[in-house]
Chains A and B, each alone.
Chain A
Amino acid sequence: MGCVSKLCRFSDMKLTVEFGGGLELLCNSVKIHNVNVELQNGAEKLTMKDLLSWIRNNLIKERPEMFMKGDTVRPGVLALVNDCDWELSGQLDTTLEEKDVVVFISTLHGG
């Protein structure tokens, strides 16, 4: 867990992942998840692309197609990294850091 030496090599990263607007229904109705995401061997950083595939494998319990389309989120799902729309941080290429908060909100479940 976390920083193990002066070289600061992470074996995994602590993140908060939140689901809203109905997406929580895909994860047993749990909205807030405090998670440790393992970095792939040798990888030095974690991107949103990596996180999305991790979420699909580890958090989503049913109907993953409601959350993702291809390797990205389904159109109509907002993604925020630290309260900022991921469009401004590079979408799939956004690099995540320890303790970042990532929020997904579906706008597709009616108003």
Chain B
Amino acid sequence: MEQSADVKAKKAGARLCCLCHQKKAALKRPKTLEQICRECFYEVFEEEIHQVIVENQLFKPGERIALGASGGKDSTVLAYVLSELNRRHNYGLDLFLLSVDEGITGYRDDSLETVKRNEIQYGLPLKIVSYKDLYGWTMDEIVKMIGLKNNCTFCGVFRRQALDRGAALLKVDKLATGHNADDIAETVLLNILRGDIARLSRCTSIVTGIYSPNAYRGFAREFIKDLERIRPRAILDIIKSGENFRISTSTKMPEQGTCERCGYISSQKWCKACVLLEGLNRGLPKLGIGRTRGLNNDDKKDTKKNNGTKSIESKQCGTLDF
């Protein structure tokens, strides 16, 4: 009896949401340090996304939009939020789920199940494109050929294009991918550090996919999570500094062209995927890994200039995409 009275006292003493002043606060937003309840969090989160969409005019009525879907938390949130906002605010968008199957035995089974659940739950048609269909190689076959050391390069480069190709197949106007603030802060940091990061790459950290034992991203991630503990806004501040960094640069940006071979966006003669594929098909899998040599070496100067800028676009490894 006494004990249950105690429990009640504790629960009653719990802090209330500072927005609705009615429900018990469930979390502290790192962005604002506000203590808010679950329902208010959903509301402000969705409303902020709507504002960003409107302010940046991301969509036009009638557009077909593919949503990159991995089955992970970020893309699931993307699918939910965009289908919800589309309904709530009458964006008039035709939404589709787009998934990539890398062909890694056992790796996507669970996540593709999640994507199929998303398909039903949000009523969004699903298209799955496989590496085998697109490139003639599964990741399992690539690993068999080149070993475990550099396969992240293949997986990341191929995945980026797989989304583009899948989007073209669905004849969509735009492709939306889900990322969280941690991902972006991490990418900003990695781009700043890029000169030194090779030395870290041998160290083992968190395993992000079964073929990425050397994912150095883990270090940057751990660092920013440490920073966040000291200063919750640190992650957003890093993103902000990344934005400023890009805006203030007066360096001549690489011209965006198309790959001579496959026609996709590339600042080089051949896109990275085509270089890697050429290597695989010719039995020279090291081609295109590390510093660009060989196929694109006639524009060496461009390569140098590009190093710092293109990396924001090209994801390295299995952890972050979608």
Contact = CB atoms under 8 A, between A and B. Distances in A.
B is a partner of A = yes
Interface of A: 3, 8, 21, 66, 74-76, 83-85, 87-89, 97-98, 107-111
Interface string B174-214: 00001110110000000000000000000000101100000
B26 A111 contact: no
Contacts of B209: 110
B25 interface: yes
Contacts of A83: 26, 38
B225 interface: yes
Nearest to B218: A108
Interface in B14-58: 14-15, 24-28, 35, 38
Given A66-B206, A110-B208, A76 B221 contact: yes
Nearest to B7: A97
Contacts, number: 67
A97 B25 CA distance: 19
9 contacts: A8-B3, A75-B228, A76-B182, A84-B14, A85-B28, A88-B28, A97-B7, A108-B218, A108-B222
A99 B172 CA distance: 51
A111 B217 CA distance: 14
A108 B182 CA distance: 9
A111 B321 CA distance: 8
B225 A75 contact: yes
A30 B73 CA distance: 20
A66 B74 CA distance: 21
Interface in B131-182: 178-180, 182
A84 B25 contact: yes
Contacts of B226: 75
B72 interface: yes
Contacts of A98: 3
Contacts of B3: 3, 8, 98
A98 B208 CA distance: 36
A111 B320 contact: yes
Nearest to A85: B27
Contacts of A75: 222, 225-226, 228-229
